[in-house]
Structure 1
Amino acid sequence: MPTNPPPLSEAQARLAATVPAALERVRRVPGVLGVLWCGSAARGEGTAHSDLDFHVLVDGDRRWRANYVVDGVPVEVFHNPVRKVRAMFAAAQGDTITMFAEGRVVMPHPELDALVAEARALHAAGPAPRPLTQQARFRLIEEVMDARALADAGDPLHVLVACRAAELALEGLFGVRGWWEVKPQRWLPTLQVRDPDAAHDFHAVLTTPDAGARQAALEALTVRVTGDLTYQEGGSEPVSVP
Structure 2
Amino acid sequence: MRVAGPGIFRGMPTDPPADAQARLEAALPAALERIRQTPGVLGALWCGSAARGEANAHSDLDFHVLVEGDRRWRANYVVDGVPVEAFHNPARKVRAMFAAAQGDTITMFAEGRTVLPHPELDALTAEARALHAAGPAPRAPTGQERFRLIEEVMDARALADAGDPLHVLLACRAAELALEGLFGVRGWWRVKPQRWLPTLQERDPDAAHDLRTLLTTPDAGARQAALEALAVRVTGDLTYQEGGSEPVSVP
Bin for the TM-score computed over the shorter chain: over 0.9
User: Residue 48 of structure 2 is aligned with which of 21, 31, 39?
Assistant: 39
DSSP 3-state at the match of 2:49? coil
Number of equivalenced pairs: 235
For residue 241 of structure 1, report the CA deviation from its aligned partner: 1.5
Q: Does 1:154 align with 2:154?
A: no
Aligned residue runs from structure 1 range 1-242, under 5 A = 9-242=18-251
> Could you list the per-position Cα deviations for residues 75-127 of structure 1 after superposition, in whole angstroms to 9, with x for gaps in the alignment?
00000001000000000000000000000000000000000000000000000
For residue 22 of structure 1, report the CA deviation from its aligned partner: 0.2
> Could you list the per-position Cα deviations for residues 56-82 of structure 1 after superposition, in whole angstroms to 9, with x for gaps in the alignment?
111010000000000000000000001
Aligned mates of 2:107, 2:217 — CA distance in 1: 32
Aligned mates of 2:227, 2:44 — CA distance in 1: 42
Alignment-mate amino acid for residue 141 of structure 1: I
Structure 1 outlier segments of 4+, above 3 Å: none
Alignment-mate amino acid for residue 51 of structure 1: D
Alignment-mate amino acid for residue 17 of structure 1: A
For residue 25 of structure 1, report the CA deviation from its aligned partner: 0.5
Alignment-mate amino acid for residue 121 of structure 2: L
Aligned mates of 2:129, 2:26 — CA distance in 1: 26
Q: CA RMSD in A?
A: 0.7
Aligned mates of 1:73, 1:38 — CA distance in 2: 15
Aligned mates of 1:121, 1:19 — CA distance in 2: 28
Per the normalisation by structure 1, the TM-score is 0.96
Structure 1, unaligned stretches of length 5 or more? 1-7
Structure 2, unaligned stretches of length 5 or more? 1-16
> Between the two proteins, what is the percent identity of the paired residues?
87
> Could you list the per-position Cα deviations for residues 178-222 of structure 1 after superposition, in whole angstroms to 9, with x for gaps in the alignment?
000000000111000010000000111100100011001111111
